[in-house]
Amino acid sequence: MGNKKAKQENGIKVFIIGIILICIVVGYYYYLSNRRDNASEEDEKEITAVQEMLLYNFEKNYPPTPKEVVKLFAQMTQCFYNETYTEEELLQLAGHIQNLYDDELIANKTENQYIEDLKWDINNFKEQGIVISSYAVSASTDVDYFSQGGDDYAKLYCSFTLRKGTQLEASNEIFILRKDSSGHWKIYGWTLDENDNEG
């Protein structure tokens, strides 16, 4: 009789311990899956377009052609005028985009002057409610290559579509790039296409 009672008690204990173990396993699995979901959501929220540009590695992946250089410049320019970012991110991106610039272009302004002019331009766009909705770079076959003073140059166009409310306006820019001693195409300068405006 006593043995039977002891067996019953042991059976109940084993059953309770089994249930507790199952609860622990299920709870831990639930905790892990929720943690993974939250982590992936946070990762998605954390990386902005500006931060993505800041992660671009110029040393490992410098754009191989004049067209690709101007394309990357246009993407970074969209970040300046369209995105929200911190003051620190603005300064980082302003420095980062200079990886695409020729040394002579960088030397045209002091760092402070460059930052002040950039901020003024961005604020001017934002005050008027203008964003760069899209851009289109010349086809590779339309890039004009030439040599001058022992240097290799490339000339191409980039058309920026500016949007203010429902109004769209095109700003067509002429880019000149120069090949540096490492064989990288660097932006030597750009200007508004005056012929386009006259038309």
Give the count of beta carbons closer than 10 Å to the beta carbon of residue 73.
22
* pLDDT bucket at 198, cuts 50 / 70 / 90: very low
Spatial distance between the Cα atoms of 184 and 170, rounded to a whole number of angstroms: 29
Q: Could you tell me which residue, 71 or 29, shows the higher pLDDT?
A: 71
pTM comes to 0.75
Do the Cβ atoms of 154 and 174 come closer than 8 Å?
no
Helix (H, G, I), strand (E, B) or coil at 35: helix
Q: What is the pLDDT of residues 145-187, one digit of tens each?
A: 999 999 999 999 999 999 999 999 999 999 999 999 999 999 9
Question: Angle at which helices 66-82 and 111-128 pack, to 10 degrees?
Answer: 60
